[in-house]
Each structure stands twice: as C-alpha cells, then as structure tokens.
Amino acid sequence: MNLEFDADTEEMRAMVVAFAQRELAGRGDTARAPFDTAGFRRRWRRAGEQGLVGGAVPADYGGSGLDAVASSAVMEALGYGGEDTGFAFSVAAHLFAALMPVVEFGTEEQKREWLPGLCSGELIAAHGITEPEAGSDALSLRTRAERKGDEYVLHGSKCFTTNAPVADVFVVQAATEPSGGFFGLTAFVVEAGTPGLSVGAPYDKVGLRGSPTADVHFDGCVVPAGRVLGTEGAGATVFSASMKWERVCLFAIYLGAMRRVLESTIAYAKEREQFGSPIGGFQAVGHRIVDMTLRLESARLLLYKAARGLARGDQDEIAPALAKLAVSEAAVQLGLDAVQVRGGLGMVGGEAETFLRDALPARVFSGTSEIQKNNVARALGLGSNRRPNRRR
C-alpha cells in the first residue's frame, strides 16, 4: 500500500500551498462586517486561474481531470496554505457538490454550457438540498417541481445553501413525485436571476465565516425540461454520487488545516515557558499533542483509503462514511486541544480559536456524525427489521 504521492501531485501540492499563502491570506472571520462580495469574487477568479475550482472536471470541459486522490491532495494543500477555511470550503462545495453532478449526469450540451465558466472561476455554483424540515431526511423534501409541458415549475425553499449569496448557477433537488421515495426526486440546473428564484441574507455563522451561506426560495420558478440532470426521478442518485465526492475530497481541507494548527501548537509548546521550562516538556501537554498527532494521522489514512476507492470506482459505502466521521470528529477535538495548550491565549482571536469554530460545522454538514454511523451500520447489515434466526 503506497502512501506516497507521485512527483506531479507533490509538485501540485507545493504550488497550491504557495498560492494560498500568497493570494488567500487572511482568515475571513470578521463576523459582523458586511460580506465582501467583490473581494470574494476576486479571490475566486485567482483560484480559478490556478485550477482549484474545477480540478476534478475533465480537461475537455475546462478542468484538470484530477481523480479523487489528486483532488484530495489539492484540497489538503489548500487547507494547509490558507487560513480562511471558509473560502476553501466554498471552493470544495462548488466543485464536488455542484460541478461533479453535472460531469457525471449532465448531457453533453449541459456540460459544454456550464462547466467551462464554472472551472475558470468566472461562475460560482451552489447546491440546494437542505430544507427546514428535511436535513438528514433528504427524501422528505417539500420543494416541489411540477411538470408543465416542456417546463417544470418549482415552489419551496432551501436553507444552509453554501455559496448562495454569490452563486450564478444552482444545482437544486426537488420532489417531482412527493410519494415516490428514492425515485421521487429530480435534480435541476437553475440560473441565478431566473424569475421566481430569490436568495436571502447571508447567515452570521459560528464558523466558516469566509463561506457565504443563505436561504434560497422558489416561487413559481420556471425551469426548462432541458435543465434536468440525468432523468426525472434520478435526483437521489445524483445526490448520493455527489456526497461520495464531498464526504471524501472536501474533508481533505480539514486535514491540511489540522496539520497547520498542529505545527503551530508544537511551536508554541516549545517556546512558551512556565515554571522555568517550555510547556512542551510537561507530560500533560506532550501527551495532548501526541493525541492530536494520532487523530490527524489516523483520519488521514481513512480519508485517502476512501479516495483511492472512489478513484477506482468502488461502490463502497463504508469508506466515505468512516472518512467523513473520522476527519470531522478529529478536527473538533484537535481544535479543542489546540485551544487548551494555548491557555488564555486560546480564548481570544487567533489560529486555534478560529480553527475550532471552523471545525464545529464539520460534524453537521454533509451528513451528521450520527448519520455517518447509521450509514456504516446499514452497510454492515445492521438495523434490519427481520428477526434473526435463533438456534434452539
């Protein structure tokens, strides 16, 4: 099992780290300041020029054609090089939750129309799935899409939609057959500015503040039938496929950010003195940092195992769920430990405090930690209503 990257991937990682440190400086965590849309788009265009916002898209449509392993490596480098985890999160959500469904399920015409601009950084995409009454229960969407001739009319609302305040294109899930279960959902590509589509005010979030998030409303929004992704009733399949990319490659951002925070925590423990000695020499502090290292390295192994499976086309449901679960839980605990090592300094604005806030949402989005455990249990054959055969 080769855990090393090839020379091209290592070179690409180094370039992304240098780019992020140079062009994406700043944490983007000004909670009460108005969101700087123009500044966000400037950085987005730079990221597009670097190939970051379309890396996994085939080269024929403007991307770099990276597989899941290389895509994860790039996201890890982005998380390490840039302190604004929210911006990196927006890039990954755009790529894995919105562009990859177009790549895998779009028609040739849809790919040619949308992907080049979305890969170049000219356009930004958002994925609308979560609703006030349908978070973990994605098959209970209340947003409806009614077929009328060659058009669909959408009614309903989405919440917690990443990139919504700046999005040019929305990939939207709606119920075309409310009682159809898995086959009752349909995915659509909807342009911003379409009559009947409106976006609410950006959220003031506890973390990932550099990622603009808002509600999206559909009030008689008319979408041509040619904007359906896949076929009518295939929305759940589209969503499941995008989640595999997101739960693996997006979470590599946290690996990079954890590495950056771990390194700064080690440096702090070597320099900070109490009772005449560096605090890193105290067993309680040293063991805590060892635990931080263990969590990071363990989570990294699970994520790249899942990435390799995704790159091979495996249909494994367990590896992506375990990777997402391990990385998100490790990130929160590592953030808590980084704050604890810094003591009082960890309570004020700084790298550790910011990372902890950015890590907290990781346990919730893309399926909560509890949902990931449910997914793994189901894949293991647990939770069946069938009675086990009992030997007498």
Active centre residues (catalytic): 246
What is the C-alpha end-to-end distance of the chain, expressed in Å? 45
Helix axes 37-49, 7-23, angle to 10 degrees: 160
Q: Measuring CA to CA, how many Å separate 60 from each of 10, 56, 57, 113, 168?
A: 24, 12, 8, 12, 21
Distance CA 143, CA 131 (A): 8
Q: Measuring CA to CA, how many Å separate 109 from each of 124, 260, 287?
A: 19, 42, 56
What tokens were used for 294? 């263990």
* Four-point Cα dihedral 265, 93, 238, 232, nearest 10: 160
Q: Measuring CA to CA, how many Å separate 213 from each of 17, 135, 141, 205?
A: 25, 15, 19, 9
What tokens were used for 196? 């009947």
